[in-house]
Amino acid sequence: MFWIVEEAAEKIRSMEIRGAARIARFAAETLRNFAESVDSEFDEKMKRAAEILLNTRPTAVSLYNAVNYVMRYEGESDEEKRRSAVKRGEEFIRWVETAHEKIGEIGARRIRKGSVVMTHCNSSAALSVIKEAFRQGKIEEVFATESRPRLQGHLTVRELSKAGIPATLIVDSAARYFMKEVDCIVVGADTITANGALVNKIGTSQIALSAKEAKVPFMVAAETYKFSPKTLFGELVTIEEREASEVAPEEILKLKGVNVRNPAFDVTPRDYIDVIITEMGAIPPEMAYLVIKERLGYAVFEEGELKISPKHFD
């Protein structure tokens, strides 16, 4: 029965399912489906399933928040617990679905008519903003970075093209070169820390740096489940470092004295962020702590383990 979860974990690990929102939604769906199939020892089996899912990719806190949300199920009997877990899984999925639309609406208000926007990687939240702003006739063109080494920028330009939005694909290192033509940056988030820093695809912080230099507003589109309760306790976000083979061919990897490193994410300090667009509203990064407190509940230590008690989604 654990095959449902093992198979799902492999899809996340191999990046067949990728992007913080999709990963979170998929984890909630997987736990919901798993809960439906558990016939005995509900708590033990759910805990094992949660661990398998959490042990896939370390950086996006959306995965942790999704798993924790479902795992806060209640009930006396296994049947009651199952019903509660299934319901919570569905609530989380609804959270993911509804947040995108609201983020699109709120974010689009921050974009001026005739704007050229730059985005990085492939973020469903950032694309919600861009698509809605385009629908309102505000966007002229979108620069999309290719996002080495996994080239998520190709997914972005495909999606933009499908939506009829004029797009220009550039290499990551051309971001500063084109910055003078850009009116606004919109990126997504894997994690927002308690102090308002953004963890997102490697290269995001370089774009933020050149945006600040050029006085181009830097906007982050992040659902509230991208905020990290764990960082309230000073826990640092683990930056996933992936296989060197994603970056360089075998003949380079074999060279004597040459090391190849492949961090998948980086950290952009809050000073570089003008606004974070959540489904609850447009907030300054300094308000991250409040989002964690109000939306996700405080992190607490229970039986020696760090857990959160997310508030019920309404």
* 43 is known as an active-site residue: no
Q: Could you tell me the smallest distance in angstroms from the CB atom of residue 44 to ligand RUB?
A: 30
Q: Which is nearer to ligand RUB, 49 or 202 (CB)?
A: 202
Q: Are the C-beta atoms of 262 and 205 separated by less than 8 Å? A: no
Q: Could you tell me the smallest distance in angstroms from the CB atom of residue 190 to ligand RUB?
A: 5
Q: Could you tell me the smallest distance in angstroms from the CB atom of residue 40 to ligand RUB?
A: 35
CA distances from 106 to 101, 110, 215, 270 (A): 9, 7, 22, 20
Q: Could you tell me the smallest distance in angstroms from the CB atom of residue 11 to ligand RUB?
A: 12
The token pair that represents 78 in the structure block: 């296994």
Q: Which is nearer to ligand RUB, 6 or 241 (CB)?
A: 241
Q: Are the C-beta atoms of 166 and 235 separated by less than 8 Å? A: no
- Measured from the Cβ of residue 215, the count of other Cβ atoms closer than 10 Å reads 7
Q: Which position among 39, 43, 78, 121 bears the catalytic label?
A: 121
Q: Which of residues 103-132 bind ligand RUB (CB under 6 A)?
A: 121, 123-126
Binder among 89, 104, 153, 188 for ligand RUB (CB under 6 A): 188
190 touches ligand RUB (CB under 6 A): yes
* 121 is known as an active-site residue: yes
Residue facing ligand RUB at closest CB distance? 188
Q: Which of residues 213-272 bind ligand RUB (CB under 6 A)?
A: 264
Binder among 8, 19, 167, 230 for ligand RUB (CB under 6 A): 19
193 touches ligand RUB (CB under 6 A): no
Q: Which is nearer to ligand RUB, 100 or 230 (CB)?
A: 100
Q: Which is nearer to ligand RUB, 145 or 210 (CB)?
A: 145
Q: Which position among 184, 190, 266, 274 bears the catalytic label?
A: 190
Q: Could you tell me the smallest distance in angstroms from the CB atom of residue 192 to ligand RUB?
A: 11
Backbone angles phi, psi at 175, to 5 degrees: -60, -45
20 touches ligand RUB (CB under 6 A): yes
Q: Which of residues 59-78 bind ligand RUB (CB under 6 A)?
A: 60
Q: Are the C-beta atoms of 147 and 122 separated by less than 8 Å? A: yes
Q: Could you tell me the smallest distance in angstroms from the CB atom of residue 148 to ligand RUB?
A: 12
Q: Which residues bind ligand RUB (CB under 6 A)?
A: 18-21, 60, 121, 123-126, 152, 188-190, 200-201, 264
Active site (catalytic) residues: 121, 190
